[in-house]
Amino acid sequence: MPVLEVEGLTRRYGERDALSEVCLTLAEGRTLVVFGPNGAGKTTLLRVLATLLRPHAGSVRVLGSGLPDEAWAVRGRVGLLAHEPLLYRELTAAQNLRYHARLHGVGEERIAELLDAVAMSRRADEPLRTLSRGMVQRIAVARAVLHDPELLLLDEPYANLDPAAIELVSPLIGPASRRTRVVASHDPGRGLAEADVVLGLRAGRPALLAAATSVAPAEITELYR
């Protein structure tokens, strides 16, 4: 059974279609990379798959459950890394992870393991408002994988990260994680290197859907013109 089955997905904001007639399937362990200019619908697609937005038309199945009716069965099995870190700035890194750990029934050992994995153990007791954007992004990565999700939804996951930090988080959210992933990206080089399937969006409509091996970087660049 595919992890994702999307048929005719449409999502509107007022009179405007943010997504229109999007169709795709994604098998377990595969990576779909979504390209497109700002406003193309990449973030909206991730938010629908994460059960944060309801589709207005079409059929969406995530991990075998239909949305929105079976969203309750999906939420604990999906990890979302969004543009916003979904963390509380006044809480420390450790407190933020403990809050999310309680929601998922995760213990202290997992929190300590992830703080160490993203090299934030020494800064774990400092409020997020005192940390750099790159450090906050590392904590956001730890939050997204805290509950060992089956599906990762990643919106520009390497934003604000320097090369050393990217190396730290790649085992958690990159291809080596062996998770099924949907990645919104503006980086044709990295995106194509990590993708099994490529979806190109323009003004909410699919302009490209193909196996990554058959897509040239120039085709991705064309989406932004």
CB 6 within 8 A of CB 24: yes
**Contact call for residues 145 and 114 (beta carbons, < 8 A):** yes
State how far the Cα of 93 lies from the Cα of 97, in Å rounded to an integer: 6
Domain boundaries, the chain: 4-86+150-223
Structurally, what CATH architecture does the domain formed by 4-86+150-223 represent? 3-Layer(aba) Sandwich (3.40)
What gap in Å lies between CA 130 and CA 10, rounded to an integer? 40
Read off the DSSP letter of residue 21. Answer: E
What pLDDT score does 223 carry?
94
> For each of the chain's 225 residues, which pLDDT tens digit applies?
899 999 999 999 998 999 999 999 999 999 999 999 999 999 999 999 999 999 999 999 999 999 999 999 999 999 999 999 999 999 999 999 999 999 999 999 999 999 999 999 999 999 999 999 999 999 999 999 999 999 999 999 999 999 999 999 999 999 999 999 999 999 999 999 999 999 999 999 999 999 999 999 999 999 998
What does pTM read for this prediction? 0.96
Evaluate whether 80 touches 50 at the Cβ level (below 8 Å). yes
Q: DSSP 3-state assignment of 53?
A: coil
Residue 193 CA to residue 111 CA, distance in Å, equals: 30
At residue 198, the pLDDT reads: 98
Whole-number pLDDT of residue 1:
83
Q: Look at residues 6, 42, 15 and name the one whose alpha carbon lies nearest to residue 202.
A: 42
